[in-house]
Structure 1
Amino acid sequence: MDNDDLLAPHRPDAAWNCGDCGEPWPCPVFRARLRSLYHGDPEKLTTFMRHFHERAAVDLVDLPPAQIEARFLGWISDPPPRRRLRSI
């Protein structure tokens, strides 16, 4: 799978928002996709996201560096949200 396949849909736009849902990118849908893809290997996920973090830091000059880092890298160590099971 190449990066174009991984990013489509929920690709970032020029302002680093999700082109599909409008959330700040990486959006929750894309984060979930990455967590699934890189399950058990947060170091590879961090390496992958560092590429975007570095590019976004150049574009998002109005945001504090700590906010950019939290947005692109801070969520990686957070456990994924728990899903509630539906009653049958």
Structure 2
Amino acid sequence: MTAPKPDQQPLHGLHPVHQHLPRRPSWLCRVCAATWPCACARMLLRVEYGTDRVALSIYMANQLFDATADLLTLNPQPAPDPRELFDRFLAWTAQPRP
């Protein structure tokens, strides 16, 4: 039996399903490698914040700010598309749950 890779180790005692967190500075999901927030991360965040969409939006706006800085540093030309980043980080927070 081989030891799990560091990326597969539980983070801070979290169950593996709750580890859909961003890998900085690329802002890809640590688990599924999709752009973060991936579908699982969005679902987990909606559950965590419940009906408090304002708090979720504020949290995600902060993530957008950090991601923009990281992604601009990684790829200044062409710069990340602001509309795409807004849709990725914030637009979904105002939508009702499916």
Question: Normalising by the residue count of structure 1, what TM-score does the alignment of the two structures yield?
Answer: 0.77
The answer to whether the aligner puts 1:58 opposite 2:69 as a matched pair is yes
| 1:79 CA drift (Å) | 2.3
Alpha-carbon distance between aligned partners in 2 of 1:80 and 1:25, rounded to the nearest angstrom: 18
Q: Deviations over 1:7-39 (max 9, x none)?
A: x51121120010101110011111101111111
Code of the aligned partner of 1:12? P
Deviating beyond 4 angstroms after TM superposition, the runs of 4 or more aligned structure 1 residues are none
Letter in 2 for 1:78: Q
Percent of aligned pairs sharing the same letter: 33
- Counterpart of 1:72 in structure 2 is 89
Greater strand fraction, Structure 1 or Structure 2 = 2
Equivalent residue number for residue 21 of structure 2: 11
Deviation larger for 59-68 or 22-31 = 59-68
Aligned length: 76
- Which amino acid in 2 is paired with 1:9? Q
Match of 2:45 among 25, 34, 42: 34
Structure 1 residue ranges without an equivalent (≥5): 82-88
Give the root-mean-square deviation of aligned CA atoms: 1.5
| Bigger Rg, which one | 2
Post-superposition CA distance 1:50-76 (Å, at most 9, x none): 111100111223321111111010111
Question: Any stretches of 5+ residues in structure 2 without a counterpart?
Answer: 1-11, 73-78
